[in-house]
Amino acid sequence: MDNHELPSEELRRVAVLGGGISGMATAFGLARAGIAVTLIESEASLGGLGLSYESPVGRIDRFYHCILPTDRHLLGLLEQLDLMDQVDWKRSGMGFFHRKRRYSLNTPWDLLRFGALPFADRLRMGWGTLVGLRQSRPEALDDITAECWLRKVFGDRCFEVVWRALLQAKFGDAYQEIPALWIWSRLTREKDGGPEVKAMLPGGLKTLINRLEGELVRLGVEIEKKAHVSAVEAVEPGVQLTESGGRVRRFDAAVLAMATRPALKLLGDSEAGRTLSRFELPYQGVVNAVYATREPLDRFYWTAVVDSGVGFQGIVETTQLADPKDFGGHHLVYVMNYVPAEHPLFAQEDSEISERYLTELKSLYPGFGESGVGWSGVFRAPYVEPVYSVGYFGRRPPEVLATDSIYLCNTSQIYPDITSWNSCVGRAEQLVKRIRSEVRAACFPGELMQPAQQRLV
């Protein structure tokens, strides 16, 4: 820590808009560097997609989240927050429904018995996983579609049965645009050479959010919730925030830590807005239903559902990692559906969605929920997964939208990493480094001169 390098009377105040993990991690890094921060969130609580909900069976995460051993930025943050002793790694399996038949897909032996594919294709699938994923120049995969690459590595039949459905599940019809680099990152993210394990914190993401919020307060970050900023504009010097009530405030800089669409709304037709609009990309949203039941559903954390006549694409049973005791002895089963924000599911009644998905779950697992569903809920989020297209690496939005005053920190910049708390923390760390050096340069212009002066001497 080198707070002492920035004299307090010279401190800049930075407004961070968006209190999801990107905004919280940015605020944390800036505050630790001695920069004064105001964190502004439009919801009543911090957390963004990591928000939880007080249900009758206990507090649950609205969306399932797990931590992987390869999540080095997130694990670093947990370390700084003294939470590592709560990370309890568990073996977690993957299931695969194809035409209503359930398979386990965790071992080479499972693959040999994977009846959704003819035997020769099962071998091809194994070869692809062992050999095809090894890439000496993964960056070249940005220039071809995932479909083209997957067909080459795994063959047409594996693509038709497995990969097309998995890509479609996440991106809908836009799957044809997705670069091979994205799927390669996705497939290699979970591999660190050891057995496949995952973790959740006891109490879910709320445990991390609460601890981080406490640290932010301790570091002097001003946190504003239910805040309604309607415009952000670069002015000389700094940045001006206009609230929907008309109040105007000045800061030295602002970080927009939210999806591109809401960031564009704030920037309007300003120069920064026009800069960002050149990088706008579509997002998939998500609609997921959660069921709390007395019995477990299966033995897997995640089960893909393909070609099985149901309206969702996957099932996640978080109590494979979390302790059912935290939910009054209930097991938590999430079913998810990735769709764009304009999809009718966003307007449909919760009860209709949860009843329909429950019936469909029962068609896959006859007898599921027989001893009663203790509680069910439906949660939606409009901006979850940026929909990338071939060549996206060179089209990622910049960190700086207006020189020295407006910065962007969101998931559209993390490609080829996949959207996760880990990659958001990593992105925030990069941005903090940049802002620190810019603030230091402004406070100590002489510092930049030193090397040249030394040379003169």
Q: Any contact of residue 58 with ligand FAD (CB under 6 A)?
A: no
The angle, 0 to 180 degrees and rounded to 10, between the axes of the packed helices 205-218 and 21-32 is 30
The neighbour count for residue 52, using CB atoms within 10 Å, is 19
- Given a contact cutoff of 8 angstroms between Cβ atoms, the answer to whether 8 and 220 are in contact is no
Beta 253-256 vs 283-293: how paired, if at all? Answer: unpaired
Torsion angles phi and psi, residue 128, rounded to 5: -60, -40
In angstroms, give the least distance from the CB of 120 to ligand FAD.
34
Q: Considering beta carbons, is residue 65 or 331 the nearer one to ligand FAD?
A: 65
The neighbour count for residue 211, using CB atoms within 10 Å, is 18
List 266, 305, 333, 361, residue binding ligand FAD (CB under 6 A): 266
24: closest CA among 316, 181, 178, 255?
A: 255
List 65, 170, 331, 380, residue binding ligand FAD (CB under 6 A): 65
- Interacting residues with ligand FAD between 284 and 313 (CB under 6 A): 286, 288
When computed from its CA atoms, the radius of gyration of the chain, rounded to whole angstroms, is 23
Alpha carbon distances (Å) from 133 to 104, 117, 154, 182, 413: 21, 20, 10, 12, 24
Q: Any contact of residue 319 with ligand FAD (CB under 6 A)?
A: no
Q: Any contact of residue 384 with ligand FAD (CB under 6 A)?
A: yes
Q: Any contact of residue 238 with ligand FAD (CB under 6 A)?
A: no
Q: Any contact of residue 50 with ligand FAD (CB under 6 A)?
A: yes
Q: How many residues of this chain interact with ligand FAD, rule: CB under 6 A?
A: 37
- Given a contact cutoff of 8 angstroms between Cβ atoms, the answer to whether 87 and 201 are in contact is yes
What span, in angstroms and rounded, lies between the C-alpha atoms of 157 and 456?
69
List 6, 14, 16, 21, residue binding ligand FAD (CB under 6 A): 21
Q: Considering beta carbons, is residue 67 or 161 the nearer one to ligand FAD?
A: 67
Q: Considering beta carbons, is residue 40 or 116 the nearer one to ligand FAD?
A: 40
Instruction: Enumerate the H helices of 81-230 as residue ranges.
Output: 108-112, 119-127, 146-154, 156-158, 164-171, 180-189, 205-218
Q: Considering beta carbons, is residue 286 or 306 the nearer one to ligand FAD?
A: 286
Q: Considering beta carbons, is residue 121 or 317 the nearer one to ligand FAD?
A: 317
Q: Any contact of residue 315 with ligand FAD (CB under 6 A)?
A: no
Q: Any contact of residue 41 with ligand FAD (CB under 6 A)?
A: yes
In angstroms, give the least distance from the CB of 343 to ligand FAD.
15
List 138, 419, 429, 438, residue binding ligand FAD (CB under 6 A): 419
Q: Any contact of residue 19 with ligand FAD (CB under 6 A)?
A: yes
Alpha carbon distances (Å) from 143 to 146, 177, 394, 396: 10, 11, 10, 14
List 14, 15, 20, 417, residue binding ligand FAD (CB under 6 A): 20
Q: Contact positions toward ligand FAD, by CB under 6 A?
A: 17-23, 40-43, 48-50, 63-66, 227, 229, 257-259, 262, 266, 286, 288, 336, 381, 384, 410-411, 419-422, 424
